[in-house]
Amino acid sequence: MYWFSADFHLGHFNIIEYTNRPFKTIEEMDETIINNFNSVVNKDDIIVHAGDFTLLHNKELIYKKYINRLKGNNLFLRGSHDYWLPKTARHIFEKEINGKFVVVCHYAMRTWARSHWNSFMLYGHSHGRLEPIGKQYDIGVDNNNFYPVSFDQIIEIMKTRSDNPNFIKERK
């Protein structure tokens, strides 16, 4: 199973105020996000994190405090604040999943790979404040009750969305 998420901002106190998160402390926020994540993700699942996992810089501490506690196979894309990732870390993930092409990036795009074939664009960064266009969805935790989003959920969400603005035809 594929899962998608973004904008954990673990260890980032100011994000609580900036985005109106319903937590009083960093510890409460961090534990809620990690517990929610582990309550739905299984050890063999693949999770794509679209940036802003944490603002911390110490890679050893990040693994000890957060990553080693997460279930599944976690792939981290670079976001605005991922200083702990190598500078060569990917910004974009592209994959065909169950016959549907998916593009994941920290930032929303106006057009993206295969958007003219109604591919999906999953993004973070906007913390639920950006209106999606066509087959886009904000996978950030602020937009999803602090849970990751499964590919099955994405499929259901996209059924309610209009075609991409540059859609020309379904890919055969």
pLDDT, one tens digit per residue, over 46-64 is 999 999 999 888 989 999 9
Sign for the CA dihedral angle at 12, 14, 17, 18 comes to negative
Strand partners, 140: 6
State residue 39's pLDDT score: 99
Please give the CATH architecture assigned to the domain spanning 2-159. 4-Layer Sandwich (3.60)
| Contact of 128 with 138, CB cutoff 8 Å | yes
Query: From CA 35, how far away is CA 135, in angstroms rounded?
Result: 29
State residue 171's pLDDT score: 59
Question: pLDDT averaged over the chain?
Answer: 95
Q: For 71-101, how does the pLDDT look when each residue is reduced to its tens digit (9 = 90+)?
A: 999 999 999 999 999 999 999 999 999 999 9
Query: From CA 21, how far away is CA 89, in angstroms rounded?
Result: 28
Residue 40: pLDDT band (50, 70, 90) is very high
Query: Which is nearest to 149 in space by CA: 1, 7, 4?
Result: 4
Query: From CA 69, how far away is CA 38, in angstroms rounded?
Result: 8
Q: For 104-150, how does the pLDDT look when each residue is reduced to its tens digit (9 = 90+)?
A: 999 999 999 999 999 999 999 999 999 999 999 999 999 999 999 99
State residue 141's pLDDT score: 98
Query: Which is nearest to 40 in space by CA: 129, 168, 148, 117?
Result: 148
- Residue entry with tokens 């929303």: 108
Residue 172: pLDDT band (50, 70, 90) is low
